[in-house]
Amino acid sequence: MDTYDLVVAGAGPAGLTLAWKASEQGVRVLLFDRKKNAGHVSYTTSASYIDLKRWALPDEIAHPITTIHFSSPGAAIRSSTRACVLRRRQLLAELEKRCLGNGVEIRYGTYARDIDVRDEAIRNVQLSDKSAVDGAVFADCSGLGNVFNRALPVNTSPATRALGYEHVVPLNSEPEGIDLYMGGVLDGGYGWLFPVDDERAIVGVGTLVPEHFPRIRQMLDLFLKVPRIAERVENNPLESYGGVFQSGMPLKRFHRGNLVIVGDVAFQGNPAAGEGIRYVMDSAEMASRAVTAAVKAQDMSHLGAYSQDWVDKYYSLYRTNYKVQRFLVWLTRQTRLLDFMVRMGNKASDSTVETLVRGEASGAFVLAKLSKLLYKPFT
Ligand SMILES: Cc1cc2nc3c(=O)[nH]c(=O)nc-3n(C[C@H](O)[C@H](O)[C@H](O)COP(=O)(O)OP(=O)(O)OC[C@H]3O[C@@H](n4cnc5c(N)ncnc54)[C@H](O)[C@@H]3O)c2cc1C
């Protein structure tokens, strides 16, 4: 039996950040993932408001974004912003480098065959490489995989799944401008255009309506014909990807026994903005502090600090955002109201638009801004 302080399932942004931050504090970590290598991901889109400096990440892993063009079928807003499009494979490679530098053992092409749970705790895991591993703490960072969460359930809430599909295409214009589009031809869905460098962009569509999942490719074809999108990119796909983003009503508890759950498995991607990476990395750092304390004190009650920190920082915002997500699904089908709201957004300042797009608007913020805008006469 190989013994570790922390055994992590899933080497996505959550698992790699948790492994990196915990190993920095001397925690001995095993990280396993069924994918072939760090960058073996099924989609590359990652528009983000991440602060690269906070994570000491190099500028090269991101492409800068300075404008957002948000449109509905009959209206548009243009706003300045300071965001980026992360090169997801480079980000994962960078996080992996830090883990390896701290002595984290990473096993790719590996999954859990059998998980032994007794007395409200995970005792050991039989891995597909025929090894058996024991850990003081286990972390489920496997996104939709639910590797440990299935064996010792922490998140049992119903998930809302958004299906996304995207092409990498040649870019003709505005290498620092992203486009977001809602409703219209996408009928209950949304679309995006994110430049990844000066010559290529990702064009994608997403929907939260399960009946539309089978027609996601047709939705993308329709989106590529929207005049502004057709002008900005060539309909000549160089690569194509699909993926599922999972969210839900926010949880209040992310630990049970000697298990913590982090990232998409724990609904920690922002439900309104669909932005995951920045939030799951922050959540993973919170988890790493509690895991380190639990390992050092050999006392699992320290894991509760992670749940508490997350709830204090995000619960109320995410509750509002989950309701906003439901409202947006409905709004995408009310074309006149959607156009009206986008036109109204034209009166808002860049910072208000940015707060909304970042998914950081509280209920009070939205009400205050709405009432102010409703009083402004339309020109
Ligand atoms: C199409 C799409 C577009 C998106 N766009 C953006 C965006 O623009 N900006 C943004 O910030 N976020 C975006 N997101 C969300 C973001 O990708 C997620 O929130 C983030 O990747 C979650 O990180 P994670 O580490 O929790 O999970 P994941 O990234 O899903 O990583 C989970 C890891 O677990 C592994 N795994 C799964 N099952 C098993 C198993 N049984 N055994 C072993 N390993 C397993 C997987 O191989 C994977 O490496 C998007 C998501 C999708 C689907």
Q: Tell me, what's the pLDDT at 379?
A: 44
What is the average per-residue pLDDT within 170-193?
A: 92
Portion of the chain with pLDDT greater than 70, in percent: 98
Q: Tell me, what's the pLDDT at 333?
A: 87
The class that CATH gives domain 65-85+160-246 is alpha beta
- For residue 245 and ligand 1, the question of a CB distance below 6 A is answered with yes
Distance 267 CA to ligand 1 centre (A): 11
- For residue 192 and ligand 1, the question of a CB distance below 6 A is answered with no
Distance 143 CA to ligand 1 centre (A): 6
Is residue 6 within 8 Å of residue 139, measured between CB atoms?
Answer: yes
Which atom of ligand 1 is nearest the CA belonging to 142?
Answer: 34
What is the average per-residue pLDDT within 319-344?
A: 89
Of 276, 270, 285, the closest CA to residue 320 belongs to 270
Q: Tell me, what's the pLDDT at 352?
A: 85
What is the average per-residue pLDDT within 293-310?
A: 98
pLDDT, tens only, 349-371? 888 888 888 888 887 777 777 67
Q: Tell me, what's the pLDDT at 368?
A: 77
pLDDT, tens only, 126-174? 999 999 999 999 999 999 999 999 999 999 999 999 999 999 999 999 9
105-107 vs 75-86, strand pairing mode: unpaired
- For residue 164 and ligand 1, the question of a CB distance below 6 A is answered with yes
Is residue 194 within 8 Å of residue 154, measured between CB atoms?
Answer: no
- For residue 283 and ligand 1, the question of a CB distance below 6 A is answered with no
pLDDT, tens only, 107-123? 999 999 999 999 999 99
Mutate to test the pocket of ligand 1, among 30, 46, 285 (most ligand atoms within 8 A of CB): 46
Q: Determine which of 13-17, 94-98, 153-157, 319-323 has the lowest per-residue pLDDT on average.
A: 319-323
Of 9, 1, 12, the closest CA to residue 31 belongs to 9
Q: What average pLDDT does the chain have?
A: 93
Q: Tell me, what's the pLDDT at 373?
A: 64
> Any idea what DSSP says for residue 361?
-
Distance 192 CA to ligand 1 centre (A): 18
pLDDT, tens only, 209-257? 999 999 999 999 999 999 999 999 999 999 998 999 999 999 999 999 9
Equal CATH topology for 2-42+89-158+249-323 and 65-85+160-246: no
Residue 261 reports pLDDT greater than 70: yes
Tokens, residue 230? 């057709």
Residue 29 reports pLDDT greater than 70: yes
* Domain segments of the chain as ranges: 2-42+89-158+249-323, 65-85+160-246, 334-375
Of 312, 322, 334, 223, the closest CA to residue 274 belongs to 322
Q: Tell me, what's the pLDDT at 52?
A: 97
pLDDT, tens only, 32-62? 999 998 888 877 778 999 999 999 999 999 9
**15, 22, 155, 161, 344 from 325: Cα distances, Å:** 26, 33, 20, 11, 19
- For residue 12 and ligand 1, the question of a CB distance below 6 A is answered with yes
Distance 150 CA to ligand 1 centre (A): 17
Superfamily of domain 2-42+89-158+249-323: FAD/NAD(P)-binding domain (3.50.50.60)
Q: Tell me, what's the pLDDT at 272?
A: 87
- Residue 5's pLDDT band (cuts 50, 70, 90): very high
In this structure, the residue with its CA closest to atom 30 of ligand 1 is 143
Distance 42 CA to ligand 1 centre (A): 9
